[in-house]
Amino acid sequence: MCVAVFTSASVSSCMTMFSLSVSAVTTRCHLFTALHRCVLTSNAGLTYSSTCIGSTSLTNTPFKQESKISAVRNLCTDQDCNVSEKTCPTTENGEVRVRFAPSPTGFLHLGGLRTALYNFIFAKKHGGTFILRLEDTDQNRLVPGADEAIEDMLEWAGIPPDESPRRGGPLGPYRQSERLELYTQAALGLVDAGHAYYCFCSTQRLELLKKEALRSGQTPRYDNRCPRVIRFRLRSGVEPFQDLVFGWNQHEVAQVEGDPVVMKADGFPTYHLANVVDDHLMGISHVLRGSEWLISTSKHLLLYRALGWSPPAFAHLPLLLNRDGSKLSKRQGDIFIQRFQQAGVLPQALLDLTTHCGSGFATNRIGRKMEDLISEFNPSKITTHSALLDLEKIPEFNRIHLEQRIEDEEQSDSLVKDLQEHIQKAYAEEIQDKDVLRGSYITRILRLRKGHISSLKELVTPGYSYLWVRPSVSYQQVAALTSETQHITSLFLRFIEAQGEELSVEALSKDLKTLAKSAKATKYRDVMKLLRLSLSGLQQGPSVAEMMVSLGRREVIHRFQKLLLLSPIS
């Protein structure tokens, strides 16, 4: 444990510069923040004294230029820094912390959902924490509302983050635009230690350099001739790393690309610096991201080494592609999660589909729930092959998951409420009997149609309108089927009046076949057509027996009585 004290002159100048009170510097992690701000922004020596137990004494030692960054590193990596402190996260206790870090330059799509899902499952599998971090440093490309929509869609999908811009958390803020000071500190520290340098090139000149290099068949590189932004100095000798999916990897980035910008002229960091700084300060233990970032990992490891930090474990997920092997594109309007939500696709079905086409699970069956995905997840089973997504299978997956929800009493209640909204929206002005909005009636419809429909919205299409609106049937329509309309209708009306309130599809099917034989000159097929027309106004649909059970005894009687009143002039 260390207790550190600044000399009064140094404390005064430093605290005045950053508007900090001396009383704020009361814990080791707070000391780290204050010291980090001072040593990375002041060229003057800073006298530091300490009383240390179990560590090297620095009493009354002026900091030299090259030792400033190492002092900061030591403060942040000591074992006694509490994980709850923002500036000194640690995973030495074995805690699993993963993050999904999208850019709000667009709305959440299937590829992003899959990455978020694998992170969520991995965290829950190991009792860890799932974090949403918004990487909004590209200010010119931000899409209004995308940040809120991303978190909305994660919650809708059933994979809510434990820490996020909306929920908060101990290691926030969770928007990169609110963490700029941290990136500035890191960038200045890299410059201070000789790992980075200033570059003042204009965008136009850099573009000309790039075009000239490409024209001559060379790799575009910065030629070190003008300063303005901060560039990280790439070094050769990158150590190989073991990816949890792709195995051992090594990319000598210094040989194939120029020194990357880590801090832009507008004061915002680039992805490479920001994600390294945030992953470290947020205590990320495992980085699960798309395989398109695999080649950049060596660059990130160089940054970790330059900053003196231990990197997390990496697992790069194979790409999610269209069925024909082409890349998913944001230009495909049908890959955005909000589109699936609006189309009535269940979140469980969407998650099941995106994992079914890939790898990483003990089984590959349709109909897996979240608890199944968590229990069956095995990172060692993730292959390097791209996953081919067949969107045409969505109705099949949705049908199975809708059936499961109908069978679950709690989830069924939610379906009833959703369907009530759909009915009122589609038929508000046409409904004659408000009983069709009763929960018991809708529940009966759902149970009868279970396994036959792929979404709730199907039940408000014209083919099912008879469930909510009484149909209009003309004398000419029934006359085209049989001349025995009065006889057949009276026969079936007396039959249904004699039944109890509880009707059975199986029993009715047998009784209808027997009664149909009482028709003198009308075939069984035409008798069923007449009954179907009377009940629904349609010539196709569920069985007549199911229609009768769906509508209920009272409504069937009403519709048969209406059929008896038809005349040639009606």
* Phi, psi (rounded to 5 degrees) for 453: -115, 150
Q: Which residue has the tokens 């395989």?
A: 291
At residue 327, the pLDDT reads: 85
At residue 207, the pLDDT reads: 80
pTM above 0.75, yes or no: yes
At residue 223, the pLDDT reads: 65
Token pair belonging to 220: 């575009």
Angle value at C-alpha 494, between 490 and 497, nearest 5 degrees: 135
- Report d(CA 507, CA 109) in Å as an integer: 48
Is residue 330 flagged as an active site residue? yes
Number of C-beta neighbours around residue 503 at 10 A: 19
At residue 333, the pLDDT reads: 63
At residue 457, the pLDDT reads: 95
**Sign of the CA dihedral running 539, 541, 544, 550:** negative
Round the CA-based radius of gyration of the chain to a whole number and report it. Answer: 34
User: Which residues, 6+ apart, have CB-to-CB distance to 109 below 8 Å?
Assistant: 328, 330, 335, 336, 337
Which residues of the chain fall below pLDDT 50? 1-90
| Selected catalytic residue, list 330, 417, 510, 523 | 330
Token pair belonging to 118: 């694998």
At residue 237, the pLDDT reads: 83
Q: Which residue has the tokens 């026969």?
A: 491
Size of the chain, expressed as the number of residues it contains: 570
Please report the DSSP string for 121-184 in residue order: HHHHHTT-EEEE-B----GGGPPTTHHHHHHHHHHHTT---SBBTTTB-TT---BGGG-HHHHH
- What are the tens digits of pLDDT across the range 528-559? 999 999 999 999 999 999 999 999 999 999 99
Strand pairing class (320-322; 387-389): parallel
428 to each of 79, 424, 463, 547, how far by Cα in Å?
A: 65, 5, 17, 22
At residue 225, the pLDDT reads: 64
- Report d(CA 374, CA 368) in Å as an integer: 10
Burial class (CB in 10 A: 0-12, 13-18, 19+), 68: buried
At residue 158, the pLDDT reads: 97
Number of C-beta neighbours around residue 187 at 10 A: 24
At residue 495, the pLDDT reads: 96
- What are the tens digits of pLDDT across the range 350-403? 999 999 988 899 888 999 999 999 999 999 999 999 999 999 999 999 999 999
- Phi-psi sector, 267: left (phi>0), alpha (psi -120 to 50), beta: left
